[in-house]
């Protein structure tokens, strides 16, 4: 079991959303030091002030899309805090609900870099130390969009499919090498953090952030390899959807799950997380 007690825990995008909640939970479980990486100075300062009453916490402003900045920041973390025992690759973005032909090249590159490549770059920094110690845990937050294609989020889905494939391949590589370093791949449904404001879901409810965060933390503690976070309120789960995707002809699957159950329309009214200025209006 991957215990949080007396461990250094690094969470990217840890100043908001489920990153913030998971950080609090890690401290409540006795983490030696919670290390938060984020690009938002205002959010980071607020979280550091709040969490200082719970346990030891350090915050760093770092753009994970900048490979050199990631390397420099990790080296600084090692000097100031020590090696990372648990990494939660949580940072991610969604830019809009535009169809692919309307996305800018910048949106495509930013989404793929932050959601996929950056997770690999951050993991590549912590992994050699974990392998040398033969101890550590990497949790990569993907998405249910990395399992089921969805219109109006094509590049976001592509980035999450990349994370799922890479993360599970990394898990197998470490297992084949006989390493005790563990990898958990998480594919949550929409979570009510503001990132997907405006999303409407008929097939399953949008997830509560506390529930999703607690489920991820428990998956890490139990060394779960793959976690599909779905709160079952109807007799239907993402595993069933995946099974039907394999069994049904494509057109029939698209009709039943895309049209009847509304998967293909979840992003129609997407607005996304408001900026700090908008939230204050």
- What is the arithmetic mean of pLDDT over 22-41? 97
| Per-residue pLDDT reduced to its tens digit, 81-128 | 999 999 999 999 888 777 889 999 999 999 999 999 999 999 999 999
pLDDT of residue 152: 76
pLDDT of residue 249: 80
More reliable by pLDDT, 209 or 26 = 26
Please check whether the domain covering 8-279 is classified as CATH 3.40.50.10490.
no
**Residues whose CB falls within 8 Å of the CB of residue 259, separated by 6 or more in sequence, listed in order:** none
Q: Which value, to the nearest 10 degrees, does the dihedral of the CA atoms of residues 156, 161, 167, 168 take?
A: 160
| Burial (CB count within 10 angstroms: exposed 0-12, middle 13-18, buried 19+), residue 159 | buried
Per-residue pLDDT of 44-89, as tens digits, reads 999 999 999 999 999 999 999 999 999 999 999 999 999 999 999 9
The domain segmentation of the chain, as residue ranges, is: 8-279
pLDDT at 204: 58
- Residues with catalytic function: 156
Greater model confidence, 20 or 278: 20
Helix (H) or strand (E) run with residue 250 in it: helix 250-253
pTM of the full predicted structure? 0.81
Residue 183 predicted with pLDDT over 80: yes
More confident residue, 200 or 90: 90
Q: Is 225 exposed, middle or buried (0-12, 13-18, 19+ CB in 10 A)?
A: middle
Q: d(Cα 248, Cα 77) in Å, to the nearest integer?
A: 49
Per-chain mean pLDDT for the chain:
83
The average pLDDT across 194-205 equals 50
Taking only the tens place, the pLDDT of each residue in 211-258 is: 889 989 999 999 988 766 543 333 345 566 666 666 778 777 666 666
In sequence order, what E strands does 110-192 have? 137-141, 182-186
Cβ burial, residue 24 (10 Å; 0-12/13-18/19+): buried
Q: How far apart are CA 232 and CA 249, in angstroms?
A: 25
No. of helices (H) and no. of strands (E), the chain: 10, 7
């Amino acid at each position: 079991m991957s215990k949080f007690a007396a461990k250094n825990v690094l969470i990217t995008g840890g100043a908001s959303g489920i990153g913030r909640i998971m950080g609090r939970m890690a401290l409540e479980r006795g983490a030696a030091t919670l290390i938060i990486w984020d690009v938002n100075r205002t959010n980071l300062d607020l979280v550091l002030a709040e969490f200082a009453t719970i346990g030891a916490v350090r915050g760093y402003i770092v753009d994970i899309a900048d490979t050199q900045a990631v390397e420099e920041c990790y080296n600084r973390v090692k000097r100031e805090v020590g090696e990372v025992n648990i990494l939660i690759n949580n940072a991610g973005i969604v830019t809009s609900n535009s169809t692919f032909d309307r996305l800018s090249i910048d949106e495509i590159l930013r989404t793929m870099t932050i959601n996929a490549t950056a997770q690999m770059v951050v993991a590549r920094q912590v992994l050699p130390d974990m392998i040398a110690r033969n101890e550590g845990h990497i949790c990569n937050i993907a998405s249910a969009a990395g399992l089921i294609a969805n219109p109006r989020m094509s590049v976001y889905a592509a980035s999450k499919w990349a994370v799922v494939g890479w993360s599970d391949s990394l898990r197998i590589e470490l297992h084949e090498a006989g390493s005790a370093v563990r990898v958990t791949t998480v594919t949550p449904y929409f979570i009510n953090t503001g990132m997907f404001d405006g999303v409407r879901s008929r097939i399953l409810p949008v997830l509560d952030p506390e529930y999703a965060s607690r489920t991820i933390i428990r998956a890490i503690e139990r060394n779960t390899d793959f976690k599909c976070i779905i709160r079952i309120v109807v007799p239907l789960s993402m595993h069933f959807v995946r099974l039907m995707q394999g069994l049904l002809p494509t057109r029939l699957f698209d009709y039943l799950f895309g049209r009847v159950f509304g998967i293909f329309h979840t992003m129609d009214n997407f607005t996304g997380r408001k900026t700090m200025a908008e939230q204050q209006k």
